[in-house]
Amino acid sequence: MKLRPLDNRVVLEPLDAQDKTTGGIYLPDTAKEKPQVAKVVAAGPGKLLDDGKRSPMSVKSGDEVIYGKYTGNDVEVEGKKLVILRESDLLGIVER
């Protein structure tokens, strides 16, 4: 798949929602929440500044990030559900 985001946008692949609660109860598909953790598939070149230079991106491909619940645009490319959003809509990078 070749999808290259522009400027300061990132393409995310949401990770699967939890099938089971911490108490051990299995959740049906209708009760699962939209995941807020995703893997960065691609990152744009960075925001174009007034002086013509680009600001560096804080994330790179392969990073695991947390993003807002109702942010971004959901798209489907080659059967994969992806989210495209601005870097500023990311809440944090998950470090393990």
pLDDT at 22: 65
State the Cα torsion 16-20-23-25 to the nearest 10°: 150
Look up the domain containing 81 and give its range: 9-17+29-94
Query: Are the C-beta atoms of residues 7 and 48 closer than 8 Å to each other?
Result: yes
Q: What is the mean pLDDT of residues 26-32?
A: 61
pLDDT tens-digit map of 54-66: 999 999 999 999 9
pTM: 0.78
* pLDDT (0 to 100) of residue 17: 60
Q: Tokens at residue 5, please?
A: 């985001």
Number of domains in the chain: 1
CATH number of the domain where residue 60 is located: 2.30.33.40
Tokens of 24: 């051990």
Domain membership of residue 3 (yes or no) is no
Residue 2 maps to a domain? no
